């Protein structure tokens, strides 16, 4: 019988030191980009009142919220993203100068079927740019996303930004007479185009009772080929003045992204995003050749959310990068460190009555920023040597009576096997010489 | 009527950029100490199977677990500490070389009555040293705690380590004939001595039916005065050979801590810790003059836990620092930064058709590591100036037609009000000159 206590909950992971180190490298590079764009970090509680989370999640996501009642009978839910909690903060702090630039790097939780690139607990690194209704804000958000992905090691030509506009999709849906009450489901099927293919979308739209003629039009729109300019021209021809404002915004956005030097931006009408709160520009980022992982970042404009959760009418736009998916891709592409910093030295002695000298010497090394360990097992010199090798320490510092009398210790290089005497006051410099130290 | 959507769940906090920056400074200093002692980071899921968490929580903490059933009917609970989840990892990875040195910096959740220094969501930075039954391991754990607190800015003389031993308490309880089935409650009352005073403990013990004579003995033991040596001598006189082994361990621990240069270590029989899994050395750390916040760190030996959750028989010892309490204390003592890094520059233009040049210049600055922002509100120069001042930017970089023709921009120092022209290729160096840049 398997002991359930030993099992992690389904769809979750443990992160051991190498995993944590890789994550830290990735996260700190992303943080650096966010901060260079002027964003300040925020953090909210893991759980919120369920009512807040459900405000505009959309039915699909609402089903995925882990929720519970606390002992006072309040319904609380684990956050499934960070945008809604940040909307709550902004709604309660009307004095903050606009635009507000906030970033976060935090775990979120969704009760979904676990699969490649989809965990029930996963981390997002994202930004919210709040207060501007203009496409300049959308361009900035996409640029921050792009530079974040580039700075963690993805080559320019691998990063593909696929974008569209919810407002454009709404105007087109109006033109096709898609009933308003079907819109959420309509977009939900379209959103699955890249994951499940066109036939899945067609069947979904049939199940909604969309006419055969309209389904054909949707199929054509999803599969338009050509440059962004050609697509815009075709859409203008098909729908004319009803969508002209939206097409102009899209053209401006493309121009701005050129100035940002963001490459591979593709207009793609299948991009509508799963969350129901989007109102304008929407985008997803894929890594070419790694599309099976899904989009590694996504976002868009949500002009109604802050008012909806009780704040004033504040237009906003933002994005989130999926840390686990990004790490999966970076791992495959060999862009991550293959080891984490190990202790530089193990300070040991063959004579237990010299143990306190080991502690003092280890203290000295740590004062100089050198990670080191001492024996806590009362082991023999041989057993300590074996352990030091196993955990990847680079040196064994041996504290012996004879050497101590001369103010020295023996240092064994565990890579070369060479051993030499080093005076204690030169030990930090000696050990640092060939070691990158935290 | 108050809109519940706008309320944070009771006992939780939001962290705005200054809060996050302070936390980051504290956390990174602690991380550096952990790593210099050779510990590697681990992270576990926010929730675990409830059965695991309840394994040896003790009745008080068991009541504080936030738990829920997922859609498959599994009982899951938010972790209330990190030791049990890490025990699960270790139990499932028998091949890891011993001793194992793991650290974590992560939030935990407890449904308690919120008060000063007690939130329902709080962060812990802690270590686990797994595999050694020896007091050398306990000494290392206390030393790591002490150096962590010192490196975040607490003066040596402010840090007070109060320690005892569960094994010692058990031997004394045996000598006093405290029935085994009352031990958990017995210790729970004693644990409250520093928080609620001696009369609270006495009443609690009366409610358990402990004899008047024994209560008097407990009162004396809790209130012993004198040096550690005097206390050890007195205990030896009172209980003799039944506790001699434990007293010897305590003396050794004190000697080791002297070699570590750890100061202000006080033997205190009231320290038994709230969690039921402790078996040996237990300790708590207080900051002198700030005792109202409660202990800011605590830990001890838990030799049975890993076997109890299904692993092999592995002795272990560890500790956790309460990040919010520590920050509260550091804040009071003026040891934290009073501001966070603001954008160095706002790059703006009076002519909207030069906006793309602003983006290019901002890109250049960011490549040089200079945090800066651009306008996304289509604001006038004056409005941009006001905003830049409000958010604490140090310079306004004004992109004008005339200057651009000469390859220059105007730079206004927002502190002094002075304005001058700077050539674009010298701009990064110019802005960096007086600025510490991330």
Q: Is the pLDDT of residue B305 over 90?
A: yes
Looking at beta carbons, which residues of chain A come within 8 Å of B130?
none
- Provide the shortest C-alpha distance from residue A88 to chain B (in Å): 6
Looking at beta carbons, which residues of chain A come within 8 Å of B34?
none
Looking at beta carbons, which residues of chain A come within 8 Å of B151?
none
Q: Cis before residue B99, ω within 30 degrees of 0?
A: yes
Q: Where do the structural domains in chain B lie, given as residue ranges?
A: 9-332, 345-432
Are A384 and A347 in contact by the 8 Å Cβ rule? The answer is no
Angle at A54 between CA A49 and CA A55, to 5 degrees: 100
B363/A391 CB distance under 8 A:
no
Interface predicted TM-score of the whole assembly (ipTM), two decimals: 0.94
Looking at beta carbons, which residues of chain B come within 8 Å of A10?
72, 74
Taking phi over 0 as left and psi of -120 to 50 as alpha, with beta for the rest, A363 belongs to alpha
**What does the pLDDT look like over A216-233, one tens digit per residue?**
989 999 998 999 999 999
Environment class of B237 (CB within 10 Å of its CB; exposed 0-12, middle 13-18, buried 19+): exposed
Establish if A17 touches chain B: CB-CB under 8 angstroms: yes
Are A312 and A306 in contact by the 8 Å Cβ rule? The answer is yes
β-sheet bridge partners, residue B299? B283, B319
Mean pLDDT of B65-71: 91
- For residue A426, how many other CB atoms are within 10 A of its CB? 11
Establish if A432 touches chain B: CB-CB under 8 angstroms: no
Which one, of B322, B305, B323, B326, lies nearest residue B314 by Cα? B305
Establish if A364 touches chain B: CB-CB under 8 angstroms: no
pLDDT of amino acid A3:
64
By C-alpha distance, the chain B residue nearest A55 is B5
Looking at beta carbons, which residues of chain B come within 8 Å of A8?
44-45, 48, 88
SS3 A194: helix
> In the Cβ-directed half-sphere of A79, how many Cα atoms lie within 13 Å?
22
Are A118 and A10 in contact by the 8 Å Cβ rule? The answer is no
Looking at beta carbons, which residues of chain B come within 8 Å of A260?
359, 363
Looking at beta carbons, which residues of chain B come within 8 Å of A52?
4-6
B36/A369 CB distance under 8 A:
yes
- Substitution target from A4, A15, A36 for chain B, most B beta carbons within 10 A: A36
- Provide the shortest C-alpha distance from residue A12 to chain B (in Å): 6
Q: What are phi and psi of A117, to 5 degrees?
A: 75, 10
**What does the pLDDT look like over A153-179, one tens digit per residue?**
999 999 999 999 999 999 999 998 899
A70/B111 CB distance under 8 A:
yes
The CA–CA distances, whole Å, from B120 to A77, A159, B108, B110 equal 14, 41, 8, 5
Split at pLDDT 50, 70, 90, the class of B115 is confident
B45/A99 CB distance under 8 A:
no
Q: How many residues does chain A have?
A: 438
Of A36, A44, A91, Cβ closest to residue B6: A91
Q: How far apart are CA A25 and CA A331, in angstroms?
A: 12
Any idea which architecture A4-332 has in CATH? 2-Layer Sandwich (3.30)
pLDDT of amino acid A4:
64
By C-alpha distance, the chain B residue nearest A363 is B260
pLDDT of amino acid B57:
74
- In eight-state DSSP terms, residue A380 is -
Of B3, B52, B370, Cβ closest to residue A5: B52
Which one, of B407, B405, B379, B95, lies nearest residue B396 by Cα? B379
List the structure tokens of A195: 């994951």
- Substitution target from A26, A30, A42, A45 for chain B, most B beta carbons within 10 A: A45
Q: Is the pLDDT of residue B208 over 80?
A: yes
List the structure tokens of A6: 């030993």
Split at pLDDT 50, 70, 90, the class of B55 is confident
Establish if A378 touches chain B: CB-CB under 8 angstroms: yes
β-sheet bridge partners, residue B105? B125
Split at pLDDT 50, 70, 90, the class of B2 is very low
Q: Which CATH class is domain A345-432?
A: alpha beta
- In eight-state DSSP terms, residue B311 is S
Q: How far apart are CA B242 and CA B232, in angstroms?
A: 13
Are A20 and B42 in contact by the 8 Å Cβ rule? The answer is yes
pLDDT of amino acid B240:
87
User: Which residues of B, range 117-136, sit inside 8 Å of A by Cβ?
Assistant: 121, 129, 131-132, 134, 136
Q: Is the pLDDT of residue B437 over 50?
A: no
List CB contacts of A169: < 8 A, sequence separation 6 or more.
A187, A190, A269, A272
A17/B102 CB distance under 8 A:
yes
> In the Cβ-directed half-sphere of A250, how many Cα atoms lie within 13 Å?
29
DSSP β-ladder status, A67-69 and A75-78: antiparallel
- Provide the shortest C-alpha distance from residue A210 to chain B (in Å): 32
A51/B4 CB distance under 8 A:
yes
Average pLDDT, chain B: 93
| B15-20: long-range pairs with CB below 8 Å, 24+ | B15/A41, B15/A42, B15/A43, B15/A44, B16/A40, B16/A42, B16/A89, B17/A40, B17/A41, B17/A42, B17/A102, B17/B340, B18/B339, B18/B340, B19/A43, B20/A40, B20/A41, B20/A42, B20/A43, B20/B340
Q: Is the pLDDT of residue B1 over 60?
A: no
Helix (H) or strand (E) holding A267: strand A265-267
Q: Where are the alpha helices (DSSP H) in A371-410?
A: 381-390, 401-405
Which one, of A371, A376, A425, A363, lies nearest residue A393 by Cα? A371
pLDDT of amino acid A130:
98
Q: In what order do the strands lie in the sheet with B47-49?
A: B47-49, B75-78, B67-69
Establish if B2 touches chain A: CB-CB under 8 angstroms: no
- Substitution target from A21, A40, A86 for chain B, most B beta carbons within 10 A: A40
Which one, of B76, B71, B72, lies nearest residue B49 by Cα? B76
A376/B13 CB distance under 8 A:
no
B369/A111 CB distance under 8 A:
no
pLDDT of amino acid B276:
75
Q: How far apart are CA B239 and CA B167, in angstroms?
A: 14
- Provide the shortest C-alpha distance from residue B198 to chain A (in Å): 31
List the structure tokens of A62: 């609402």
**What does the pLDDT look like over B152-176, one tens digit per residue?**
999 999 999 999 999 999 999 999 8
- For residue A14, how many other CB atoms are within 10 A of its CB? 17
B44/A15 CB distance under 8 A:
yes
B378/A55 CB distance under 8 A:
no
Establish if B137 touches chain A: CB-CB under 8 angstroms: yes
Which one, of A286, A436, A271, A310, lies nearest residue A370 by Cα? A436
Establish if B364 touches chain A: CB-CB under 8 angstroms: no
Q: Is the pLDDT of residue B288 over 80?
A: yes
Of B85, B101, B359, Cβ closest to residue A260: B359
Looking at beta carbons, which residues of chain B come within 8 Å of A76?
9, 66
Q: How far apart are CA B392 and CA A205, in angstroms?
A: 51
- In eight-state DSSP terms, residue B82 is S
SS3 A7: coil
Of B35, B256, B360, Cβ closest to residue A259: B360
Q: Is the pLDDT of residue B260 over 70?
A: yes
Looking at beta carbons, which residues of chain A come within 8 Å of B41?
15, 17, 20-21, 24
Of B14, B71, B140, Cβ closest to residue A42: B14
- For residue A157, how many other CB atoms are within 10 A of its CB? 9
Establish if A354 touches chain B: CB-CB under 8 angstroms: no
Looking at beta carbons, which residues of chain B come within 8 Å of A49?
4-5, 7, 9
Mean pLDDT of B354-373: 97
Mean pLDDT of B47-53: 93
Establish if A97 touches chain B: CB-CB under 8 angstroms: yes
Establish if B98 touches chain A: CB-CB under 8 angstroms: yes
Q: Is the pLDDT of residue B436 over 60?
A: no
pLDDT of amino acid A273:
83
List CB contacts of B10: < 8 A, sequence separation 6 or more.
A72, A74, B114, B120
Which one, of B307, B273, B283, lies nearest residue B138 by Cα? B283
Establish if B55 touches chain A: CB-CB under 8 angstroms: yes
Helix (H) or strand (E) holding A249: helix A244-259
The CA–CA distances, whole Å, from A120 to A10, A233, A291, A296, B181 equal 8, 42, 20, 16, 40
Establish if A310 touches chain B: CB-CB under 8 angstroms: yes
By C-alpha distance, the chain B residue nearest A377 is B132
Q: What are phi and psi of B341, to 5 degrees?
A: -65, 120
Percent of chain B topping pLDDT 70: 97
Distance of CA B359 to the CA centre of its chain: 41
By C-alpha distance, the chain A residue nearest B103 is A17
* pLDDT lower than 50: segments of chain A: 1-2, 436-438
Q: How far apart are CA A408 and CA A348, in angstroms?
A: 14
pLDDT of amino acid A276:
75
Q: What are phi and psi of A107, to 5 degrees?
A: -80, 150
CATH superfamily, domain at B9-332: Bira Bifunctional Protein; Domain 2 (3.30.930.10)
Size of interface A-B (CB pairs under 8 A): 260
A366/B36 CB distance under 8 A:
yes
């Amino acid at each position: 019988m398997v002991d359930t206590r030993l099992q992690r909950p389904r769809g979750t992971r443990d992160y051991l030191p190498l995993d944590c180190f890789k994550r830290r490298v990735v996260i700190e590079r992303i943080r650096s980009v966010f901060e260079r764009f002027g964003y300040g970090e925020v953090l909210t509680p893991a759980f919120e009142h369920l009512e807040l989370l459900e405000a505009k999640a959309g039915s699909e996501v609402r089903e995925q919220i882990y929720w519970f009642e606390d002992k006072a009978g309040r319904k609380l839910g684990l956050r499934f993203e960070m945008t809604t909690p940040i909307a709550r903060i902004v709604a309660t702090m009307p004095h903050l100068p606009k635009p507000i630039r906030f970033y976060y790097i935090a775990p979120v939780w969704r009760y979904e079927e676990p699969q490649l690139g989809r965990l029930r607990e996963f981390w997002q690194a994202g930004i919210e740019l709040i207060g501007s209704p203009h496409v300049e804000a959308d361009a900035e958000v996409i640029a921050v996303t792009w530079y974040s992905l580039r700075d963690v090691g993805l080559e320019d030509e691998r990063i593909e930004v696929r974008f569209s506009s919810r407002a454009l999709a709404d105007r087109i849906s109006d033109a096709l007479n898609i009933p308003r009450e079907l819109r959420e489901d309509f977009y939900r099927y379209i959103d699955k185009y890249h994951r499940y293919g066109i036939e899945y979308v067609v069947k979904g739209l049939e199940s909604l009772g969309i006419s055969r003629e309209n389904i054909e039009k949707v199929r054509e729109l999803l599969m338009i080929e050509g440059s962004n300019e050609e697509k815009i021209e075709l859409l203008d021809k098909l729908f004319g003045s009803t969508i002209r404002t939206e097409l102009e915004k899209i053209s401006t956005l493309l121009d701005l992204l050129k100035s940002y030097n963001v490459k591979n931006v593709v207009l793609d009408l299948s991009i509508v995003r799963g969350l129901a709160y989007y109102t304008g520009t929407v985008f997803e980022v894929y890594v070419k050749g790694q599309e099976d992982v899904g989009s590694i970042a996504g976002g868009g404009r949500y002009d109604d959310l802050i008012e909806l959760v009780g704040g004033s009418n504040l237009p906003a736009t933002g994005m989130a990068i999926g840390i686990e998916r990004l790490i999966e891709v970076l791992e495959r592409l060999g862009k991550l460190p293959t080891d984490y910093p190990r202790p530089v030295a193990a300070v040991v002695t063959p004579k237990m009555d010299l143990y306190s000298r080991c502690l003092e010497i280890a203290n000295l090394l740590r004062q100089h920023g050198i990670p080191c360990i001492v024996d806590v097992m009362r082991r023999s010199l041989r057993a300590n040597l074996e352990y030091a090798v196993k955990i990847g320490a680079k040196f064994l510092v041996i504290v012996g009576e004879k050497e101590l009398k001369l103010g020295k210790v023996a240092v064994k290089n565990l890579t070369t096997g060479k051993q030499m005497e080093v005076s204690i006051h030169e030990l930090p410099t000696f050990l640092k010489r060939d070691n990158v130290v935290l």
